[in-house]
Chain A
Amino acid sequence: MLKIGSYSFQSRLLLGTGKFPNYEIQKRAVEASETEILTFAVRRMNIFDQAQPDLLEELNVKNYTLLPNTAGAKTAEEAVRIAKLAKASGLCDMVKVEVIGCDKTLLPDPVETLKASEELLKEGFTVLPYTSDDVVLARKLEELGVHAIMPAAAPIGSGQGIINELNLSFIIEQANVPVIVDAGIGTASHAARAMELGADGVLLNTAVSGANDPVLMAEAMRDSIIAGHKAFRAGRIPAKRYATASSPKEGMTVS
């Protein structure tokens, strides 16, 4: 069970809704993933195009917990405004705090992320900040009272997998709130690895939406996160430099 603030979830996969080839594939991928949390962005509506499909209606969002992000914000003030706009929909009180500090790497601005998180906690939001893999920043966010910490595995959309396993494992070890690895996942083994390291969940988007077969990749991610989490709970054997026979040394038919 993944517990974030007052929410509980069976699934440990949080799925983004960006850049799917079309709504039909997106819908099938979301179903295949068995996710319970969907992320969204907040943007101006095209009021002059009444025929535009409504993403939320297409996905039957009542079945999911919505996690709007503050993507597009470059300051704490902008992030807080976007979060408040999202909450005013009456559909959610969770927010993924995302304050980008670098256009090229899309890495988060740590100072503004901290400020925005503090303000949103005061406003009563369930706050999930997207951070770099900075161990001290993760601790400071937790001290503020955030409900989960979401360190990047690698830059957003890069598909590189976990760049710094050591930092990520430090963050996981010190945290008393869920750690959700967010961004940079490329394939199922990356998600499994995050869970093997002890992450509480994985948030991904492009790895599924950009795959050749997004529905099949959604299934792969679902399975890998379950497998990685089971392996973590089971406790892996230590890695050894040399071989250890698994068959008995006694009673051999050859001498």
Chain B
Amino acid sequence: MNCKINGENVKVEPHISNVYELLAAYGMENKILVVEKNGTILEKEDHINENIQDGDTFEIVSFVGGG
């Protein structure tokens, strides 16, 4: 599958079927973060039910230092 994550084209393994698995593939499933899929912000508890399809666009954001 080809997806866009944070502006970059990324090949996602076909066995990854939901957002939780996508995060786990990058070792981020337990990090404090927020996922937006195709412009819709996801609640954390919905990650496991949110399917991934070819062409999906994701924004994965977190908190960084700022004033």
What residues of chain A have their CB less than 8 Å away from a CB belonging to chain B? Answer: 16-20, 26, 39-45, 47-48, 50, 54-57, 66, 68-69, 71, 84-86, 88-91, 156-157, 183, 203-206
Instruction: List B residues 27-44 near A (Cβ within 8 Å).
Output: 27-28, 31-34, 36, 41-44
Footprint of A on B, CB under 8 Å?
5-7, 26-28, 31-34, 36, 41-44, 59-67
Q: How far is the CA of A104 from the CA of B41 in the complex (A)?
A: 32
Per the bound structure, the CA–CA distance linking A228 and B28 in Å amounts to 44
| Chain B residues within an 8 Å CB radius of A26 | 65
A180 to chain B, nearest CB (A): 12
| Bound Cα distance A69, B67 (Å) | 7
With A42-B61, A56-B32, A89-B33 in contact, is A71–B66 under 8 Å at CB?
yes
CB distance from B41 to the nearest CB of A (A): 5
Decide: A204 and B67 in contact? CB cutoff 8 A: yes
**How far in angstroms is the closest Cβ of chain A from B32?**
5
B17 to chain A, nearest CB (A): 18
Report whether A85 and B65 are in contact in the complex, using a CB–CB cutoff of 8 Å. no
Could you name 11 residue pairs across A and B whose Cβ atoms are closer than 8 Å? Answer: A16-B65, A18-B64, A43-B63, A44-B61, A47-B6, A56-B32, A56-B63, A57-B32, A84-B41, A88-B34, A204-B67
Quick one: which of A41, A50, A157 contacts B26, CB cutoff 8 A? Answer: A50
Q: A39-B67, A89-B33 are in contact. Are A45 and B41 (CB under 8 A)?
A: no
Are A18 and B66 in contact, with the CB atoms below 8 A? yes
Contact with B63, one of A48, A68, A156 (Cβ below 8 angstroms)? A68
Residue B7 contacts which of A41, A44, A206 (CB distance < 8 angstroms)?
A: A44
Interface centre among B42, B43, B62 (most CB of A within 10 A): B62
Distance, CA A194 to CA B59, complexed state (A) = 39
Say whether B36 contacts A85, CB under 8 Å: yes
